[in-house]
């Protein structure tokens, strides 16, 4: 499932020289709309769900929906990268929320 950008949360990385989702996307699929200054995926069918944009977004404005084969429409997986740790929030199809925090090598 391609990334979904919450246009209310996305500020186009206004404190950065370039939108971080654009910089990190290994497929060069993320872009910044020049009219709205919001991130978007310019070719959703080519996205392979690496979640790099989702993980790097400082506003938590990008989420990846879990493919219907695994979790149906309303399920989602949201990462939050902190200093030395990453927290994954899993929302299942019934709205049940679980969080898992792991240490990383990021400083």
How does pLDDT run across 55-103, given as a tens digit for each residue?
899 999 998 776 655 566 677 778 888 888 888 888 887 888 999 998 8
Please give the residue that has the higher pLDDT: either 39 or 93.
39
Q: Are 102 and 80 in contact (CB under 8 A)?
A: no
**Interior/surface letters 15-44, b for 16+ CB within 10 angstroms, e for the rest:** eeeebbbbeebeeebbbbeeeeebbbbeee
Q: Are residues 40 and 74 in the same domain?
A: no
User: Catalytic residue at 48?
Assistant: yes
Domain check: are 36 and 1 in the same one? yes
- Quick check: is 59 in a domain? no
Q: Are residues 83 and 48 in the same domain?
A: no
| 43 vs 22: CA distance, rounded Å | 13
10 plus 46 within the same structural domain = yes
Report the number of distinct structural domains present in the chain: 2
Among candidate residues 48, 69, 96, 103, the one labeled active-site is 48
Range of the domain at 30: 1-54
């Amino acid at each position: 499932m391609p990334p979904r950008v919450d246009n209310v949360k996305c500020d186009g990385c206004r404190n950065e020289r370039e939108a971080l989702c654009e910089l990190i996307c290994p497929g060069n699929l993320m872009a910044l709309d020049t009219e709205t200054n919001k991130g978007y995926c310019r070719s959703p069918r080519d996205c392979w769900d690496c979640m790099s944009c989702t993980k790097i977004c400082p506003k938590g404005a990008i989420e990846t929906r879990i493919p219907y084969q695994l979790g149906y429409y309303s399920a989602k997986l949201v990462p939050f990268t902190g200093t030395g740790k990453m927290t994954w929030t899993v929302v299942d199809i019934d709205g049940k929320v679980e969080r898992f925090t792991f240490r990383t090598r990021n400083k």
